[in-house]
Copies of this chain bind each other. A is one copy, B any other.
Amino acid sequence: MQKPISRRPTMRDVADAAGVSLKTVSRVVNNEIGVSQDLVLRVDQAVTQLRYVPDERARTLRLLDARPSSIGFVMSDVSNPFFSSILRGLEETARARHCLVLSASSDNDDQRQSELIQSLIQRRVAGLIVVSSSDDLHWLAIEDLRETPLVFLDCEPAEHSYDSVRTDHHAGAVAMVTHLIKHGHRHIGFLGDDSGIFSARLRLQGYYDAMNDAQLPIREDWVRTGHLTPQEWTTATLKFFDSADERPTAVVAAQNFVTIGTVRALHQLGLQHQIALVGLDDIELGDLITPGISVLPQRPFELGRRAGELLFKRLDGARQPAVRDLLLSDIVARGSGELPPSR
């Protein structure tokens, strides 16, 4: 009986073509030992001839000690180089284990993040890596995870007991403020993400703590936070520097898009040599602008790599208590952060 040619061949078809049982095909396809040379050859030929590609879904359905076949990654936005570098680091770790990465952007929307995690669980990813938009574990569908391992990246929601890898944002912010103080600044502003986001809140806290430790005045109109696009940051910072009659002499830009927006605003106002700036996260070509942009680099590729390693360790059955891995780099001085106070 002729079968429709368009249908994808199954193990059954290969077995029929090779004149062996289904189980023998399974053995050959999975490189199990103990099949005679002759049968291996016949099966391999049938596989090649029919262009048989095993169905991973069916395979993992019954499989007991399955090695991970895919992992999930939820972040706010892949098109941000910070996250795409993390993804690349993750990919490399996964690749070594013949594992693929299902990734998705949440745009820092709790609802969306929750839906994405749900979708990933439905697809039965072996594990999850999440840059959570929220502190509220409810949104993380934690209960639905069951035995699925989870690693938090660049965040640590309250009262969780999962592995996490992140930049030491508090120490980073303190270092940036201290750097500016060391160069004579007393009037220092802060521009950063909405403090609903874990990392943003730590940075802001670091700013406050460093300012207080140095007994410097904090003015609320020198602190600008929000959930903005790069373009919106340009507009926001234009207003920030324009309206203040008593401007800060230096600012901390607590995220790569914030830095870009701020630098653009400073240039438009012709203030790039007047107001000192240190940015968190390195930005491309920051060294070729005048003055060069001083930054505290993050190591996104390394963050992704480490998160991946932690996840796979759990998948390999590690039972150690939750690990909290912190990364911190040194400030790269390029000029903008070393400008003296303009008044």
Q: CB within 8 Å of B: which residues of A?
A: 6, 8, 51, 53-58, 60-61, 69-70, 77-81, 83-85, 87-88, 91, 95, 98, 100-105, 118-124, 143-144, 146-147, 260, 263-264, 267, 283-290, 301
B residues near A147, Cβ cutoff 8 Å: 6, 8
Given known contacts A78-B84, A263-B288, what 17 new A-B pairs fall within 8 Å (CB)?
A51-B143, A51-B146, A53-B121, A53-B144, A54-B122, A55-B124, A57-B57, A69-B123, A78-B87, A81-B81, A81-B84, A100-B104, A100-B123, A101-B102, A264-B287, A267-B288, A288-B289
Find A56's partner among B58, B81, B105, B122 (CB 8 Å cutoff).
Answer: B122
Rounded to whole angstroms, the CA-CA distance of A285 and B20 in the bound complex is 64
Pick 15 A–B contacts, CB within 8 A, sort by A: A56-B123, A70-B123, A78-B78, A78-B88, A79-B301, A81-B81, A91-B104, A100-B102, A100-B119, A103-B103, A260-B284, A263-B285, A264-B285, A264-B288, A285-B286
Cβ A88 vs Cβ B77 within 8 A? yes
A161 shortest CB reach to chain B, Å: 16
B residues near A55, Cβ cutoff 8 Å: 61, 122, 124
Rounded to whole angstroms, the CA-CA distance of A169 and B191 in the bound complex is 40
State the majority secondary structure of interface residues on A.
mixed
A237 shortest CB reach to chain B, Å: 14
Cβ A102 vs Cβ B102 within 8 A? yes
With both beta carbons as reference points, the residue of chain B lying nearest to A60 in the complex is identified as B57
Cβ A79 vs Cβ B70 within 8 A? no
Rounded to whole angstroms, the CA-CA distance of A87 and B88 in the bound complex is 13
A71 shortest CB reach to chain B, Å: 11
Rounded to whole angstroms, the CA-CA distance of A84 and B290 in the bound complex is 28
Rounded to whole angstroms, the CA-CA distance of A283 and B289 in the bound complex is 13
A204 shortest CB reach to chain B, Å: 25
With both beta carbons as reference points, the residue of chain B lying nearest to A59 in the complex is identified as B122
Rounded to whole angstroms, the CA-CA distance of A332 and B118 in the bound complex is 43
B residues near A144, Cβ cutoff 8 Å: 51, 53
